[in-house]
Chains A and B, each alone.
Chain A
Amino acid sequence: QKEVEQDPGPLSVPEGAIVSLNCTYSNSAFQYFMWYRQYSRKGPELLMYTYSSGNKEDGRFTAQVDKSSKYISLFIRDSQPSDSATYLCAMSRGISGGYNKLIFGAGTRLAVHP
């Protein structure tokens, strides 16, 4: 079993829809949770970063962490064609020993069509 599970999709939605992307994980020691967006033929770019449980909002994007269920989500409101990309969740135990090793999900490919 992988430490981080993420449905690879693809997920296709119409413009303006609310998108929900999810990851589950098995390691209860994870404390830092991230969402990266990766456009085709580009490197991943950090989209959202949260520590421990709770919600974080940034414009059209909301990240949620439920540590009791070992489940994280990314919501995209009013989705746009420019949101079409692969979304990777990532998490880490923290910086114990000065090292923040990230474990990535497989990525979910999202297509927003006009």
Chain B
Amino acid sequence: DAGVIQSPRHEVTEMGQEVTLRCKPISGHNSLFWYRQTMMRGLELLIYFNNNVPIDDSGMPEDRFSAKMPNASFSTLKIQPSEPRDSAVYFCASTLLGGDQPQHFGDGTRLSIL
């Protein structure tokens, strides 16, 4: 079975540029999560979607970050303008809400802002 697919795997760009990260959740999953992982802060939840609707965006650091889920099979996380402190690994995870369903993670996008 295909897992959570993220693209690109690596992104290097200059400060001030727009960055778009993409995620395809596991087919049939109705919940999607974006996380950020850094050495200093560990794995932090940025935003959570249920049935394509943003439910909890309290972890989004600031207005430069935005996320969309136009349909059940695709989500984007956008940073505009990007800053060096945004450098991190960004993970997408999906699950089927209800019961004790675990979250399944993609392999992440390693983002470097110069």
Q: Which residues from chain A sit less than 8 Å from chain B, CB to CB?
A: 32, 34, 36, 41-46, 49, 51, 88, 95, 98-102, 104-107
- Residues of B contacting A100 with CB < 8 Å? 95, 97, 101, 103
Instruction: Return A38 CB to nearest CB of chain B, in Å.
Output: 8
Of the candidates B42, B44, B55, B106, the one whose C-beta lies within 8 Å of that of A107 is B42
CA distance A100 to B43 in the complex (A): 16
**From A98, which residue of chain B is reached at the shortest CB distance?**
B97
* A-facing residues in B78-114 (Cβ within 8 Å): 91, 93, 95, 97-108, 110
Residues on B facing A (Cβ under 8 Å)? 4, 42-45, 48, 50, 55-56, 91, 93, 95, 97-108, 110
Residue of A nearest to B102 (CB): A46
Cα–Cα distance between A102 and B99 once the two chains are bound (Å): 14
Determine the residue in chain A with the shortest Cβ distance to B110: A41
Q: Check if A104 sits within 8 Å of B43, measured CB to CB.
A: yes
Interface majority SS on A: helix, strand, loop or mixed?
loop
**Bound Cα distance from A101 to B48, whole angstroms:** 9
Rounded to whole Å, the gap between the CB of A101 and the closest CB of chain B is 7
The answer to whether A45 touches B105, judged by C-beta atoms less than 8 angstroms apart, is yes
Residue of A nearest to B50 (CB): A98
**Roughly how many angstroms separate A98 CA and B99 CA in the complex, as a whole number?**
9
**Residues A99 and B98 in contact, CB atoms below 8 Å apart:** no
By beta carbon, the residue of chain B nearest A95 is B98
